[in-house]
Structure 1
Amino acid sequence: MHTPHRGALFEPERPQSRRLKARVVDICRRESLRPQHDLGQHFLVDERVLADIVEAASLEPRLPILEIGPGIGVLTEALARFGVDLTAVELDTACARYLARNFHSKPHVHIIQGDALGWWERSRATYTEGEFDIAANLPFNIASHVLNIFLSSTPRPRAMTVLLQKEVAQRTAASPGSTSMLSLMAQSYADVHIVRTVKRSAFWPMPKVDAALVTFRDIHWRHAGIDEKVFFKVARAGFSARRKKLRNNLAGFAGLLPSAVEALLLSIGISENARAQELSLEEWRVLMSKLTN
């Protein structure tokens, strides 16, 4: 896909980034906009990170984009340059009002004021599985919930390119030994890749933690033949006491003797001393197949 000329918003030099921050601060002052801590608002002010989001998104001209929590529209403006159909959903009334004025001359940009997940519940029927993308600087306080909704329920996007709190990003991409319910959920639906870490100084106001740019691609349920609800019900039991061995957690859930679960684990090549966080995605799939068939 052709990449548009990188104007002021895309220049990687730090002086340009300082200008973007000055511009963001000026807009907030002029429009009497105050970043809302309770909404997790931290506006992106780093040119290089902005360019990396657009590049990582690998946008398809034919696919609409959904942006959650656009704030004052720094990423919105960068995405709008591609001319694709873009819907940005902003909870903050004052920010949404500013966005509506700022993008009124761009008919391919649709500004929605309201709760993004509530709007999605009402609007999801107008979208098609795998036929839209998500790109967003997700508010930290709702990021995990947003991931769960868009990965585990239909219609699912083709891909998601999002900024997350660094710790959350690392949990989604965790490998055996440090996995969790979040990583198991994310990797059961998508190829998860951390593109880069992002310093907290890339945002204004500056949050207390760093962030990371993460892509979720090839989104679909990866455990064919296994019911999703049953899969995660059993997995939650497995992770219910992280310090306990998996055999004990599952025995209590399934009403089996620990020895019976131990025999099952050994039959599929999993140590009888394994803990839930040590299993690979494939081992979870095989285990679930045995438990549910």
Structure 2
Amino acid sequence: MSGMESISTPKRTKEIIQRYGFSFKKSLGQNFLIDQNILDKIVEAAELDKAGGALEIGPGIGALTERLAMAAGAVTAVEIDRRLIPILRDVLSPYPHVKVRNDDVLNVDLKALFADDFASVDKVSVVANLPYYVTTPILMKLLEEKLPLDNIVVMIQKEVAERMAASPGGKEYGSLSIAVQYYSEPELVCIVPRTVFIPQPNVESAVIRLKVREHPPVEVADEKHFFEVVQASFTQRRKTIANNLKARYFAEEGRERLEALLAEAGIEPTRRGETLSLAEYAKLSDVLLAAGIV
């Protein structure tokens, strides 16, 4: 590492912040990681090699980017805060295969970015310490756009990570669990204490790996309708599936038709949304669609 201390050490992080007079913006959810063991676990979980690429979102001052640069053949870091761009370009100057873009990832044409930045590699993983206030929209964009992705390894709020990895039946399981598990196989990598960040966040964090699926685990006639049925089933968590679906799709008619369609899908009307598996939601959404309930 050219004799230079790693960016992720507390000493060098503070040095960089002071040298550039950088001040943290609460509105951007900026918390810089200062623990090398956690960085090792993140990079290891991404299974990178020189034939692959890494897309990083919210690189901060480059602690994780530096590790990605050592492990991957092409790295692109997308940073929303333009104050960080000169810092990143400076600290990452030893790595010519790292590209820094000043942009909001939610506005980026990711297919075009992949075509431009990752043409020379055969697989790409997203690796990021995501700002907590915008975790779900970023992850859903990455998954829904069906990009040529291998893994998504992100540090996010522990509670959100647990919801993504939850199995049917528990209170963590909900529409987010189903959406994430439709597109990927989630696995919790490690829990991360608050003390390993500058400044310390108010919540505990976790690293989660989403292994992107080539094909969803269930087949549905209409993806959009499938997700709408899932959302409707969780409108009020304490209500039964029948009551939630009645409010959304059968407000004008009696329960008979709804109960007949639930029976056709093999689902008891007294069950709650959190007890249904992906396969049951797939069957339910197809039965409703075939009956013209959209």
CA contact (8 A) 2:49 2:71 kept: no
How far did 1:194 drift?
A: 0.7
The normalised TM-score by structure 1 is 0.87
Question: What corresponds to 2:248 in structure 1?
Answer: 253
Q: Do residues 71 (structure 1) and 72 (structure 2) align?
A: no
Secondary structure of the corresponding residue to residue 189 of structure 2 = strand
Pairing of 1:121-140 with structure 2 (within 5 A): 121=110, 123-124=112-113, 126=115, 131-140=123-132
Structure 1 residues 167 and 183: alpha-carbon distance in aligned structure 2, compared to 1, 3 A threshold: same
| Aligned with 2:24 (options 29, 32, 35) | 35
Provide the secondary structure at the position in 1 that maps to 2:159: helix
One-letter code of the match for 1:246? I
Report the counterpart of residue 243 of structure 1 in structure 2.
238
Change (3 A) 1:51 1:150: same
8 Å Cα contact 1:160-1:215 kept in structure 2: yes
Q: 1:225 to 1:238 in 2, by over 3 A?
A: closer
**Structure 2, gaps ≥5 residues long:** none
Instruction: Describe the superposition over 1:180-207 as per-residue Cα deviations: whole angstroms up to 9, x where unpaired.
Output: 1211111111101111111111111000
- For residues 18 and 5 of structure 2, the distance between their equivalents in structure 1, rounded to whole angstroms, comes to 21
How many residues matched?
Answer: 279
2:96 to 97, 107, 127: 107
Measure the CA separation in 2 of the matches of 1:54 and 1:33: 26
**Aligned residue type for 2:58:** G
2:270 corresponds to? 273
1:265 is displaced (CA, Å) by 2.9
Task: Note if contact 2:220-2:282 (Cα within 8 Å) is conserved in structure 1.
Answer: no
Give the share of equivalent positions with the same residue, in percent.
35
The root-mean-square deviation of aligned C-alpha atoms, in Å, is 2.4
Q: Which of residues 94, 98, 102 is equivalent to 2:83? A: 94
Distance, in Å, in 1 between the alignment partners of 2:183 and 2:207 is 18
Q: Which amino acid aligns with 1:168?
A: V
Contact 1:124 1:155 in 2 (8 A): no
1:264 CA displacement: 3.2
**Aligned position for 2:47:** 58
Question: 1:14 is matched with which residue?
Answer: none
Aligned: 1:180 with 2:180: no
Instruction: Tell me whether 1:159 sits opposite 2:154 in the alignment.
Output: no
Q: 1:221 to 1:276 in 2, by over 3 A?
A: farther
In the TM superposition, residue 124 of structure 1 has moved relative to its aligned partner by 4.5
Q: Is the 8 A contact 1:57 1:135 kept in 2?
A: yes
The superposition leaves residues 117-174 of structure 1 with CA deviations (integer Å, 9 ceiling, x where unpaired) of 223458346268x942100011111111111101112325221000001111111111
Which sections of structure 1, spanning at least 5 residues, go unmatched?
Answer: 11-16
